[in-house]
């Protein structure tokens, strides 16, 4: 997620979404978006704090909440207690996660389009059969990352 051509579009899109939600694109929010954009996967508050040391924790929480309600950021839970944050899929594309059970790190991965498409087809049928209105799916690979092997 470090492609520069995309980066420009991401920032424009973020600005548009914040405007649409009557919210400003403040320096703190810009730094949060930059941090999430540079990350290899969803970040915990602790990880975000380590990078953006000048922003107080409460501001991080509050701004992430604003960004989330503006559709810029997605908040996800992994296996542990604390939340992780990433840019919304509308901004960085649909993807999945490698979740390390040892260090807790999450990193982004994508699966081949054909598999994704076939999976979607199957899941849609499954949803219909259960009277469920499917909006999206979440697929995580759980195991040990290369650093923890």
Partner DNA sequence: ATGAGTGCAAAGGCTTTGCATTAGG
Partner DNA sequence: CCTAATGCAAAGCCTTTGCACTCAT
In the chain, the largest separation of any two C-alpha atoms, in whole Å, equals 50
Considering CB distances under 5 to 8 angstroms, the limit depending on partner class, which of a second copy, DNA, none binds residue 111? a second copy
C-alpha to C-alpha distance for 34 and 47, rounded to whole angstroms: 14
Q: Answer yes or no whether residue 133 interacts with a second copy by CB under 8 A.
A: yes
C-alpha to C-alpha distance for 20 and 120, rounded to whole angstroms: 30
Residues 65-124, interacting with a second copy (CB under 8 A): 75-81, 98, 100-101, 107, 109, 111-112, 115, 118-119, 122-123
Which residues lie below 8 Å from residue 52, measured CB to CB, with a gap of 6+? 28, 31, 32, 35, 60
Question: Which of 4, 5, 54, 135 contacts a second copy by CB under 8 A?
Answer: 135
**Binding positions for a second copy, rule: CB under 8 A:** 75-81, 98, 100-101, 107, 109, 111-112, 115, 118-119, 122-123, 126-127, 130-146, 149
């Amino acid at each position: 997620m470090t492609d520069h051509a995309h980066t420009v579009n991401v920032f424009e899109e973020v600005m548009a979404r914040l405007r649409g939600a009557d919210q400003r694109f403040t320096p703190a929010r810009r730094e949060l978006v930059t941090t999430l954009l540079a990350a290899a996967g969803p970040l915990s508050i602790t990880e975000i704090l380590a990078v953006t040391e000048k922003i107080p924790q409460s501001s991080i929480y509050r701004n992430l909440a604003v960004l989330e309600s503006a559709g810029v950021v997605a908040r996800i839970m992994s296996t542990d207690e604390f939340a992780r944050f990433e840019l919304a899929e509308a901004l960085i594309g649909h993807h999945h996660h490698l979740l390390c059970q040892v260090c807790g790190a999450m990193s982004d991965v994508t699966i081949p389009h054909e598999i994704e498409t076939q999976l979607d087809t199957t899941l849609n049928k499954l949803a219909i059969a259960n009277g469920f209105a499917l909006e999206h799916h979440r697929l995580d690979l759980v195991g040990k990352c290369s650093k923890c092997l």
